[in-house]
Amino acid sequence: MRIALRPSFLTTLPLSSTDTPFGANFIEENGRLSANKRPHSVCNGGLSFNHHVHASPFKLGIQIPTRMTIQNVADTIKSLPIPSEEGTEIFIMSQKSCEIQNICEFNDLFMEFVSEDELDLALKLLSNLSSYGLVPNCRTFSIMIRCYCKKGDLENAARVLGQMLGRGCNPNDATITVLVNAFCKRGKMQKALEMVELVGRNGRKPTVQAYNCLLKGLCYVGRVEEACEMVTEMKKDSLIPDIYTYTALMDGLCKVGRSDEAMELLSEAEQNGVKPSVVTFNTLFNGYCKEGRPLDGIRVLKKMKQMNCTPDRISYSTLLQGLIKWGKIRTALRTYKEMVSSGHSIEEKMMNTFMRALCRRTWKEKDLLEDAHQVFEKMKNELQVIDRSTYGLLIQALCSGNRTSEALANLHHMIGKGYSPRAITIDVMVQALCHSGGASEALCVLGHGIRFSRISFDLIIEELNEEGMWFSACNVYGLALKRGIKPTKRPR
């Protein structure tokens, strides 16, 4: 007779609840089991697992009934906040009353633990397989392979595949793909190809999904030519490449500076009715920008929109970074505005890089100064972290554009943020103030205790002399000497 219990069969209780009937029963049971700790060892498929059949669920303050279903166990393990030793102890205790009547029920529970990443718990369950009087079937082996792949134990995963084939069990496509993908992700392409060859000898040809894993792996280790040949083999086997096939190969080509060939593959995919994804286009953006051809990336962006594929944050960020790197600042500004209007955010590091590039360009192209100032104000309004170099370059740009009051305000803001301006920033600021007759403002900057260079002291002394403020000029000269600097200009 089977007893179905509610999924919430483990009830959280205060630690003091051990005086309840259930708590008292478990104290007695726990004591009896602890006194009879018998190692339980089961060998399965050449692998041995050992554990002591004991548990102490009381440190969690929980309650376990006398009978439970497989779903009860699965639901309880999933409800634990963090996979831990306590989860294993609960499971070991629950095994005594859990009903597993056939291999299908065992596989369901086994798969549940693997899916929830309770891998050690899954292997512990596997070690008890023979104690249930059960024999593994094809699905059991498939789940074992998935479990070992998740653990990163690819040697055992490959061994299980060999045992599986030796028993006449043919792995399904999903199992082959999982195993091949695991080897490819670790760069073990030879082993991945051996697995495909092994199942191929048993009449199992790789699917498009398995090929995609191999293609991605080959491209990852730089074996692009082999990847191209593999796509040709796919077509000979009447397998139709999908968007993942094209994207994997395009990514490999872009990484070795063959973005034009990748673009040809995009056209081929389009002709074959395969719709490219945003990831496909991002691959091309990355390739063209790495090759120093970000404007070609902008042309791809236009094509992307024509194909009704919406650029994401990565699309814009990749292009923006490439445009800045290769000095295409005006195009970068247009891309930035488009990115912001599309609702995408830009990370602080890139914003600072963009601002610095924009400020440097304003020294030659004055019409960009207002754009630079607007971008800077947006950064401040969004409370982004602005680094010292960005502040300094903006102040220099504003001074160069005769916007001295704004430059001075940003200098005070910079100092208020705890930054110490570089000497060149102070020199430019003092020069701008003195040229505009603002010697008093220059003295205020000096009052911040910032280290002035000889150039700045000379500028202030000269301006004070011209304004007839000789006493102030003497004070500034004395301050310079006190700081170990001898100005070339003297008070009159």
pLDDT tens digits, 188-219? 999 999 999 998 888 888 999 999 999 999 99
Given this model, what pLDDT does residue 146 score?
A: 96
Among 7, 27, 30, 6, residue whose Cα is nearest residue 16: 27
Predicted confidence (pLDDT) at residue 28 exceeds the cutoff of 50: no
pLDDT tens digits for range 290-306: 999 999 999 999 999 99
Identify which has the larger pLDDT, 68 or 251.
Answer: 251
The pLDDT, as a whole number, for residue 132 is 83
In angstroms, the CA 219 to CA 256 distance is 9
Give me the residue spans of the domains in the chain: 1-100, 277-345, 347-400, 422-492
The CA distances from residue 356 to 199, 324, 342, 367, in Å, are: 57, 10, 23, 16
DSSP per position, 98-155: B---SHHHHHHHHHHHHHTT-HHHHHHHHHTGGGGT----HHHHHHHHHHHHHHT-HH
Number of H helices, E strands in the chain: 25, 2
The token duo for 29 is 């049971």
Q: Which of the pair, 360 or 479, is modelled with greater confidence?
A: 360
pTM above 0.85, yes or no: no
Burial class (CB in 10 A: 0-12, 13-18, 19+), 112: buried
SS3 38: coil
Tens of pLDDT, residues 113-170: 898 888 988 998 899 888 888 999 999 999 999 999 999 999 999 999 999 999 999 8
pLDDT score recorded for residue 492: 79
The greatest distance separating any two alpha carbons of the chain, rounded to the nearest whole angstrom, comes to: 110
Looking at 78-82, 353-357, 373-377, which range is the least confident one? 78-82
Q: How far is residue 255 from each of residues 183, 249, 288, 304, measured CA to CA in Å?
A: 21, 10, 10, 20
Tokens of 420: 């110490």
> In the numeric block, which tokens belong to residue 196?
């495909």
Does position 180 have pLDDT exceeding 90, yes or no?
A: yes
- pLDDT of residue 423 exceeding 80, the answer is yes
Contact at 8 Å (CB) between 42 and 49? yes
